[in-house]
Structure 1
Amino acid sequence: MKVRKQKEIIESAIKLFAENGFTNTSIQEIVNDCGISKGAFYNYFTSKEALHIAIFEYYFEQMRTRTHEIDAEQLPPREKLAKLLSVPFEQLTKQKDFFMVYMREQSFTINKELREVMGKTQFEMLTWYEKNLKEVYGDKINGYTGDIIMLIEGIRSNYLASILIQDSQIDATLVPTFIMNRIEDMVASFEKGEEPIMKNNLLDLFTNNSCESLNHIEKASALLADMQEQLEIMNFSDDQRNGLAGVIAFLISELQKPSIEKYVFQGMLANLKTVKEFDIYREKIANLLGIELL
C-alpha cells in the first residue's frame, strides 16, 4: 500500500514539475492533485526535496530495469547495442513529463544529493556504453571510445530534445539504427588514421574530474552493484553463479570498512577475471582504488 501511494505522489509531482517547474510547485498543489492531506504527505517523504530525489531514483531504476531485460535476451552484441540505444526513446513515449524535468535539471543548480544521484547514473551510463561498444568492436576501438560516446550522446540527446521540446515529427524508431551507422562511420574513419579528439578515455576523465561528490569508494561500489545485476542474467550453473556472487559480496563488504586491505581486495578481484564481461569493471575498480590487476 505504501509503495503504491508513493508512486502516486511521484507521478502527480512529476506532472506538476513538468508544467510549472520544481520551485513554482508547492507541496499543497501536489497533495491536492493526488488526493491526500499535507500531513499524510510527510508519511512518505520528509520534504519536497526528498520527493524530487525519489522521482529521479524511480525513473532511473525503470530505465535500468529495461536495459537489464534487454541484456537478458542474449542478443548478438551489435543487435543488443542498437536495441539498448532505443530505450530512452521508448521511455519518452511513456514518461514525457519526467524527461522534461530531467532536461531542465541538467541546466540549473540542484541540491547536492540529487547531483549525487545524477552523477552515479551518468557514471553507470558511461560504463555501460564502454562495455557494450567493446563487445561489438573489441580492442580496435581502444583510444577513441570517448569520441564515440560523445557522438552517441550528442545525437541521442538532441533528438530527444527535438521530439520533447520542439514536438518534431521524428520517427524515433529510426534513431538507434542511424546512431549505429554513424558509429560504423567513425570506427572506419579512425581505422584509416583519423586522430581522436578526446585524448583521454571519457570514463577515466569522468572518474578523475567530474561529480566530485561521488568519491572513489562510491564509484567502485556502484560498479560492483552493476556486476551483481549482470550476474543474475549470465549463463552460469548455480554453483558458478553462487561462487561469483560471493566474491562480489565480499568486495562490497570490504569497501564498507574504514580502510581497504588492498592486497586482499586485489586477490579477490582476480577471481572475477574468468568472466570476460567483467573485464571493464575490474579495470575501472582497480583504477579507482589504485590497485594493480593480477
Structure 2
Amino acid sequence: MNKKQLIMEKALELFAKQGIEATPVQHITDYCGISKGAFYLSFKSKDELVTALIDYFMMQIISDIDYQVANMKDDDELLYKFYYTTFQSFHKHSDFAKVFVKEQTQSCNNEELLIKIRYYNSIMENIISSMIDRLYGETVEETKFDLLYCIKGFMNTYTELFFFSTLPLDLDLLAKSLVEKTNLLAKHTTLPFISEELIQMYKQPMNEEIPKEQIVNLIKEKIEEIEEPIEKESLILLNQQLLDPNFSPAIVKGLYENIRNHPQCKWISYLLRSYFRF
C-alpha cells in the first residue's frame, strides 16, 4: 500500500467515527504515523483528500451498478439486481457511505465538493432513467421523473439502515420489497409533479460525456500504476483501440472484461463501456 492509499484508508476510518469537520489533518497524520509534510506531498488540503475519497468510492459503486444494469438480460430480474447491487455496494463500503451522506448535507459552502456530489448524482440518475425506459416505456411517460426520484429516495432512505443498525440485514428481502414498491408506484401513480423541463433546468453542464482524449490520459496514468500483466497489457491495447481502431468488437469486449473487476480500473471500465456502448 502506497502512502496516498494509506492516508485515504486511515482518514476514512476517522471521518466515519468522528466526522469530517471534527478531524483535522493533525489527527490524520498521527493516526497514519506520518508527518504533516508527508500528508501535503499527497494532498494539498483536507478538502482535496475528501474529494479523492468521494471519487474513489463513487467510481467503484457506480461502475458496479451500471455494469449490472447494462448486462442484465432478463427484464424481470433487472430492478431486483439494481437494488441488490446498490445496497450490497453501500454495505461493502459502509464507512464511506456514512461520510458521503454526511458530506452531502454539509457541503453547501464548498462549491467544488457540491459540484462533485451533483456530478455523481447525475450519473446515477442517468442509469436509473435508462432502466425506467427499459422496464416501463411509455406507460410511465407522464410520471417518469417522479418515479426516478422515488427510486433515489428508496436508495437514500434504506441506506440509513447500514448506519444505525448493527444487526445483519437481508439484502435479498430488501431488494424484493423495493421491487414491489417500485412496481406499484409505476403502475398506479397518475399525478406527476416533476416535469422534463424542471429536470433540464436542474441538470448541470458536467453531464456531458467525457471526451476521448481524457479517457486516453486516464488510461495512460493507470498503465503506470498497476502491476498485473494481463490488466496492464489489456489497458495498453484498449488505449491503442481508442487512438487507432482496428480490433473487432469481440476482442475489445474481451479486453474490457480483463480489466473490469480490477479495483483500480472500475472508473475506466465504466467510461470505456459507455464509449464503446457495450
Partner amino acid for 2:207? K
Q: Give the structure 1 partner of residue 7 of structure 2.
A: 9
Q: Which residue is 1:163 aligned to? A: 162
Higher fraction of helix: 2
| 1:55 to 1:199, Cα distance in 2 relative to 1, 3 A | closer
One-letter amino acid matched to 1:101: V
1:200 matched to 2:188? The reply is no
Q: Deviations over 1:24-48 (max 9, x none)?
A: 1111211222232211111211111
Structure 1: state its 5+ residue gaps: 227-231, 243-274, 279-294
**Which residue number corresponds to residue 261 of structure 1?**
none
> What is the CA–CA distance in structure 2 between the aligned matches of 1:71 and 1:209, rounded to whole Å?
25
**Residues 115, 164 of structure 1: alpha-carbon distance in 2 compared, 3 angstrom cutoff:** same
Deviation of 1:240 after TM superposition, in Å, equals 6.4
1-side partners of 2:86 and 2:9: how far apart?
Answer: 18
Q: Distance in 1 between matches of 2:66 and 2:149?
A: 23
Query: Which is further off, 65-74 or 53-62?
Result: 65-74
1:1-294 matches, cutoff 5 A: 4-71=2-69, 73-108=71-106, 109-167=108-166, 170-190=169-189, 195-201=190-196, 205-209=198-202, 214=204, 216=205, 218-221=206-209, 238=247
Secondary structure, counterpart of 2:208 in structure 1: helix
Superposed CA RMSD: 3.2
**Kept in 1: contact 2:104–2:117 (CA 8 A):** no
How far is the alpha carbon of 1:71 from its aligned partner?
4.4
Instruction: Give the deviation of 1:56 after TM superposition.
Output: 0.4
Residues 1:153 and 1:199: Cα distance change in structure 2 (over 3 Å): closer
Distance in 2 (CA, whole Å) between partners of 1:11 and 1:205 is: 39
Among all aligned residue pairs of Structure 1 and Structure 2, give the percentage whose two residues are the same amino acid: 24
SS at match of 1:22: coil
CA distance in 2, matches of 1:16, 1:175: 29
Distance 1:101 1:223, change over 3 A: farther
Q: Distance in 2 between matches of 1:161 and 1:129?
A: 20
Where does the alignment leave 5 or more consecutive residues of structure 2 unmatched?
A: 216-237, 239-245, 252-275
**How far apart are the structure 1 equivalents of 2:75 and 2:3?**
39
> What is the CA-CA distance between 1:222 and the residue it aligns to?
5.2
Change (3 A) 1:223 1:99: farther
Q: C-alpha offsets along residues 211-251 of structure 1, whole Å, 9 cap, x if unaligned?
A: xxx4x2x222359999xxxxx9xxxx955699xxxxxxxxx
The question of whether the paired residues in 2 share the 8 Å contact of 1:6 and 1:44 is answered with yes
Quick one: distance in 2 between partners of 1:75 and 1:63?
Answer: 21
2:207 and 2:250 map into 1 onto residues whose CA distance is: 23
Deviation (angstroms), 1:91:
2.1
Match of 2:264 in 1: none
Deviation, 1:150, is 2.4
Q: Distance in 2 between matches of 1:7 and 1:207?
A: 38
Question: In the superposition, relative to structure 1, how do residues 158 and 72 fare at CA in structure 2: closer, same or farther (>3 Å)?
Answer: closer
CA distance in structure 2 between the partners assigned to 1:27 and 1:159 by the alignment: 32
- Per-residue deviation at 1:120? 0.6
1:284 alignment partner in structure 2: none
Paired residues, what number? 224
TM-score scaled by length of structure 2: 0.70
Distance verdict in 2 for CA 1:76–1:238, change over 3 Å? farther
Give, in angstroms, the shift of residue 99 of structure 1.
1.2
| Residues 187/240 of structure 1: CA separation in 2 closer, same or farther (3 Å cut) | same
DSSP-derived class of the 2:105 partner: coil
- In 1: Cα distance, 2:95 partner to 2:125 partner: 24
